[in-house]
């Protein structure tokens, strides 16, 4: 009867006005809803089917549910899964939840607890109360991944009231069982005093084992704390090794941080050549901050030969990637270029922008990794 509750909650929500904007231009769906309410499942099927085949996720969900319950058609788990998947792929939370239920029980497809949890997480992120209850149930039953996901939900207020204290408790349970991201999360929460009293020593004690197991962000954060003497005695050499380990793994904040440290030389040996090398790596991975700094170094001939064309191109890329200093710096550098040089610099800058935007973190929005600091 679970599935019938799901469809009826959908139908009543639509009829009571939640979907009024849709109904104004979609009488076919409303007619199918009315047929379902009248338990004329054959007519409902005929109404939902063309809409589902045309890609309407509500109708796809409804068609899946008819097959799930055997209403108007012979009961067919595989056909139910097929329509749920189409609807869920478009982000329809009720379909995502029902797919999770069927995947967890192995109805219509092989049982897969991890995949079921993922469907519940997607539905929960949209506020589906049944999915949230399932994640809580899994977490309380000892599912360590569910414990970690539930912790993140409470910390960030995703689909549940934000409660860092409760999030900390679930994070601690997952971390105690060796969940790597939860161990990093414990380090982060204790460092920031989120849901627990701030303790840099405790943060280090969580970052160390996470770093030893290859967690790149934990390695970087451990380097930050050790450089600043927080939770551990300050140790520039150890911090450098940690930053380089994270940077070598492709972590852009670590690459950018090393560039800034060698560039500025504050409490760190100044080395212009190393600064440029790390800036180039970070810039190649999509960092607008690295591009703006490279532009400055090329403009002033620091650590490398002065090159106003390269300076403009790097700064142009930083500007296009959203750096707030880009436009002003471009105006200054442009005064040093002839028209032909300016065109060349713009073309080169566009290549840098295209390369940056091919990076996943930049393609998803914004410039990559602008959180580093010296």
Give residue-wise pLDDT tens across range 43-54. Answer: 999 999 999 999
Q: Which of 130, 117, 123 is nearest to 84 (CA)?
A: 123
- Give the separation between CA 180 and CA 218, rounded to whole angstroms: 10
pLDDT for residue 361:
59
pLDDT over 70, % of the chain: 89
Distance of CA 89 to the CA centre of its chain: 18
CATH of the domain at 92: 1.25.40.10
- Residue 281 confidence (pLDDT) above 90: yes
Asked whether residue 124 is domain-assigned, the answer is no
Question: What integer is the mean pLDDT of 251-256?
Answer: 96
Q: How far is CA 217 from CA 185, 224, 230, 254, in A?
A: 10, 11, 17, 9
What does the DSSP 8-state code read for residue 16? I
The verdict on residue 314 lying in a domain is yes
Does any domain span residue 323? yes
Distance CA 158, CA 152 (A): 8
Tell me what the mean pLDDT of segment 288-301 comes to.
96
- The pLDDT confidence band at residue 18, using thresholds 50, 70 and 90, is very low
Residue 7 has pLDDT above 80, yes or no: no
Looking at the chain, the whole-number percentage of residues with pLDDT higher than 90 is 84
Q: Residue 170 falls within a domain, yes or no?
A: no
- Tell whether the model's pLDDT for residue 144 goes beyond 60: yes
pLDDT given at position 338: 96
**What is the C-alpha separation between 75 and 66, in angstroms, rounded?**
8
> What's the mean per-residue pLDDT of the chain?
89
pLDDT at residue 373 in the model? 40
What distances in angstroms separate CA 317 from CA 311, 350, 351, one per listed residue?
Answer: 10, 7, 8
Taking the C-alpha atoms of residue 169 and residue 351, their distance in angstroms, rounded to an integer, is 47
Among the candidates 64, 92, 109, a domain finishes at 109
Whether 345 is covered by a domain: the verdict is yes
Q: Among the three residues 90, 109, 128, which one is the final residue of a domain in this structure? A: 109
CA 219 to chain centre: 20
Structural domain span for residue 365: 286-374
pTM over 0.85: no
Residue 128's closest CA among 152, 158, 151, 102?
A: 158
Number of domains in the chain: 2
Residue in this structure with the two tokens 């073309």, named with its chain if needed: 347
Give the tens place of pLDDT for each residue, 205-220.
Answer: 999 999 999 999 999 9
Domain boundary among 63, 83, 109: 109
Which tops the pLDDT comparison, 16 or 57? 57
Does 41 map to a domain? yes
| In-domain check, residue 123 | no
d(Cα 201, Cα 78) in Å, to the nearest integer?
Answer: 53
Residue 266 pLDDT = 84
The verdict on residue 115 lying in a domain is no
User: What is the arithmetic mean of pLDDT over 287-312?
Assistant: 94
Q: What is the pLDDT of residue 26?
A: 56
pLDDT category of residue 304 using cuts at 50, 70 and 90: confident
Residue 27's pLDDT is 62
What gap in Å lies between CA 297 and CA 182, rounded to an integer? 40
Tokens 């599912």 map to which residue?
143
Residue with tokens 């379909």: 95
pLDDT at 20: 39
pLDDT of 337 strictly over 80? yes
């Amino acid at each position: 009867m679970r599935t019938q509750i799901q469809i009826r909650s959908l139908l009543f929500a639509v009829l009571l006005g939640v979907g009024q904007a849709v109904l104004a231009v979609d009488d076919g769906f409303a007619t199918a809803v009315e047929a379902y309410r009248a338990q004329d499942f054959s007519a409902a099927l005929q109404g939902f089917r063309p809409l589902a085949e045309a890609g309407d996720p509500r109708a796809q969900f409804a068609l899946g549910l008819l097959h799930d319950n055997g209403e108007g058609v012979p009961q067919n788990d595989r056909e139910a899964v097929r329509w749920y998947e189409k609807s869920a792929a478009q982000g329809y939370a009720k379909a995502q939840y029902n797919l999770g239920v069927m995947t967890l029980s192995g109805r219509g497809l092989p049982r897969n607890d991890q995949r079921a949890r993922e469907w519940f997480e997607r539905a929960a992120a949209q506020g589906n109360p049944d999915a949230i209850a399932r994640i809580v149930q899994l977490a309380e039953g000892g599912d360590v991944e569910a414990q970690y996901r539930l912790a993140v939900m409470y910390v960030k207020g995703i689909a549940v009231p934000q409660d860092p204290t409760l999030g900390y408790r679930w994070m601690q349970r997952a971390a105690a069982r060796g969940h790597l991201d939860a161990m990093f999360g414990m380090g982060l929460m204790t460092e920031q005093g989120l849901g627990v009293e701030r303790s840099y020593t405790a943060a280090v004690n969580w970052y160390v084992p996470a770093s030893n197991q290859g967690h790149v962000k934990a390695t970087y954060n451990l380097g930050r704390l050790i450089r600043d003497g927080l939770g551990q005695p300050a140790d520039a050499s150890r911090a450098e090794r940690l930053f380089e380990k994270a940077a070598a793994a492709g972590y852009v904040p670590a690459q950018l941080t090393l560039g800034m440290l060698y560039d500025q030389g504050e409490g760190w040996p100044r080395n212009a050549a190393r600064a440029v090398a790390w800036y180039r790596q970070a810039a190649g991975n999509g960092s607008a901050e690295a591009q703006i700094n490279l532009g400055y170094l090329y403009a002033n001939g620091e650590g490398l030969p002065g090159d106003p064309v390269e300076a403009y191109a790097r700064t142009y890329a930083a500007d296009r990637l959203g750096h707030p200093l880009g436009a002003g710096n471009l105006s200054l550098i442009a005064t040093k270029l002839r028209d032909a040089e300016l065109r060349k610099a713009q073309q080169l800058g566009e290549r840098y922008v295209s390369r940056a935007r091919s990076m996943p973190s930049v393609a998803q929005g914004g410039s990559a990794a602008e959180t580093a600091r010296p």
